[in-house]
Each structure stands twice: as C-alpha cells, then as structure tokens.
Amino acid sequence: MARSLPRWMHEKHGAYYLVRRNKWHRLAGNLHDALVEYARLTSGGAQGALGELVSKALDDMKLTVASSTFKNYTTCSRRVLEAFAEFNPQQIRPHHVARFLDDNKSTPSMANLLRSFLKGVFQRAVRWGVVDSNPVRDIDQFKTGKRDRYITSDEYKRIRDNATPTLACLMDLAYITGQRMGDCRHIRYADISEAGVYVKQQKTGARVLIAMTPDLEEVISRAKMLHQSVKGLTLFHKRDGVPIPYGTLYHQWRKACDLAKVENANFHDIRAAAATDAKAQGLDSMTLLGHTTESSHKRYLRSKETKVAMPNRARKS
C-alpha cells in the first residue's frame, strides 16, 4: 500500500499518517481528506506545491464529475503524487507526462484515466494562474481495443445460479432496464412508481423513465423481500439500511463467475447484452440505455451472428 501513496504517507489501521523522523502524525480517516492535510503540512517544497494543487483540483472535481469517476481520480492522485514527488507544477513538461503515461501503458485504460485526471488538474491550474499552459494537452491517449463480449443466455443463467440473492436481483434489474450497476444499486424507493422506474444516470446525468412491466415489477418485489425487517432509502441495501458498497457486489460477481466457470465476463457486459437483445426485439434500445448519440450507443451493440460471405465464382478460361 505504501508504494501507491505519496512520500512519507502511510496507511495503518484504517487511517492515513504523515511519517517523518519516526514520528507518526495522523492525517485523516479517508484518502481525500488525508491528501488535503498532507498538502497543507508539506507545503513549501515541490511535493507540497503539487499536493496542494492536486487537493484543490480534487475538491473542484468532486462538484462536477460522477461519484464513480471521482473515486477513480482519487486513486489516480496517489500515483501522480508518487511519480512527481520531486516536481512542482511549473516544472512538469509534456515529456515528463509522456514518460509517466508510458510507464503505465501496460494497462491502456488506466493510463488514459491517469491522463484524463492530469489533464483536468492542469486545466484548473491554468485557470487559477498556477501554470501558463497544460502539459497534457498534446499528449495523445492510448488506443484501447473495443470490447465485443456478449454474455449468452446460458452464461447468464450459470452466473445467476451461483449468485447471491442480492446479486441475482441486481443482474435481473440491470438486464431488464439496461442500466449500469451503479445506477441500479442507487435506485431509491422514491424513484419507483406505477408508471415505472425513474433513473438519473450518474455518469452522464441522462434521465430515463423505464416503463413498469410484469418482469420489472417482479424483480423489484424480490429486491424488497431481501431485507424485509429493515427499509433503507435505496432498493438495494445492507441489513442496517445502508446502500451496498460497489466492492461487495464486485466480489460477489467475481465469485459467481468463477463458480459458473464463465471467463472474461464483467457486470457491465449485461448492459451490452440488454442493448443488443432489445434492438433485436425491435425495442428502442438507445432510449432504454439513455444514450443521446448513435456513436455512443453502437459501442454497446454486439453481433451475435457470424456474417456469411458469398465467395466469388471460379474464373474460367
């Protein structure tokens, strides 16, 4: 864990500490607040100047990006502060950024996330007068292969058969509605009516009212039965009424896939299957998923059939 934190910062017993000269100074119980306090205590040096900028940028990002994106950016901040520990913001040049991203190119999606975070930090730095230009602006993203995984009905059934009751309900809700895991697990009782289920997507802010159908009504009823004695604000919650953490569901999904012997399956692939199957049935899959452009929607459509190519006729003399 220490390798992924800034210099002199350590995690111990669920809290973060600044350790210098063998003295442990408690920063905070969560990473974001710890980074803010870390920047304050180490200000004056190169790391402090960058830490202060990163903390201020994170505060601003928290107001403008989806919660899932913000969590990813918080993770990115640790890598950035570790990699640029000897730099202040004004010293960071495009070739420094390129080298940093090249060091992470083994996982292109992570490298692109780091680039996005750094670009956002320096966009704010330019606006705040900290630097004159954005060193990330001319650094291209890495190309990532298009995911074409389609979870078949048989694979879906096998995973579902090995899932916890909560995960099975969440899978069904995600498939029926075509929504992301995060949006499904945050559906509130107040969002459910006779007309359907209202969803405001966390990632894009798109608003969708999914019409109530017998299948949708049935899965909602099953979800309500999971913890009858305790009622939280959200449809899916723990025994104490608190929403179920993403990490818990992620581990349940991985375990169910392992038991079902289904490889290379992500929960998000259910959304692609929902889009593909809805379109095949003649439904408005684009509206169901909350997409506003054909290009973004097409990324979710999977071809379930192998195209048959007719060969040429033989050349005859």
Per residue in 43-77, pLDDT (tens digit) is 554 445 888 899 899 999 999 887 778 889 998 99
Q: What is the pTM of this model?
A: 0.64
Given a cut of 80, is residue 79 above it in pLDDT?
Answer: yes
Given a cut of 50, is residue 3 above it in pLDDT?
Answer: no
Question: In this predicted structure, what is the pLDDT of residue 1?
Answer: 40
Given a cut of 90, is residue 7 above it in pLDDT?
Answer: no
**165-177 vs 246-260: helix axis angle to the nearest 10?**
100
Given a cut of 90, is residue 168 above it in pLDDT?
Answer: yes
Instruction: Lowest mean pLDDT of 28-42, 212-226, 266-280, name the range.
Output: 28-42
What is the amino acid identity at position 177? T
Q: How far apart are CA 265 and CA 254, in angstroms?
A: 9
Which pair of tokens denotes residue 153?
Answer: 């009905």
Question: In this predicted structure, what is the pLDDT of residue 43?
Answer: 55
Mean pLDDT confidence for 240-264: 92
Question: In this predicted structure, what is the pLDDT of residue 298?
Answer: 65
Question: Half-sphere exposure (CA, 13 Å, Cβ side) for 270?
Answer: 27
| % of the chain exceeding 70 in pLDDT | 88
**31-42 vs 67-83: helix axis angle to the nearest 10?**
40
DSSP code at position 201: -
Query: What confidence tens digit (pLDDT) does each residue in 112-162 have?
Result: 999 999 999 999 999 999 999 999 999 999 987 778 889 999 999 999 999
Residue found by looking up tokens 């205590």 in the block? 41
Q: How far apart are CA 285 and CA 95, in angstroms?
A: 43
Burial class (CB in 10 A: 0-12, 13-18, 19+), 317: exposed
Given a cut of 70, is residue 307 above it in pLDDT?
Answer: no
Which residue in 248, 294, 247, 302 sits closest to 271, CA to CA?
A: 302
Average pLDDT, the chain: 86
Positive or negative: CA dihedral 51, 55, 60, 61: positive
Domain ranges of the chain: 2-127, 153-298
CATH topology of domain 153-298: hpI Integrase; Chain A (1.10.443)
Given a cut of 50, is residue 199 above it in pLDDT?
Answer: yes
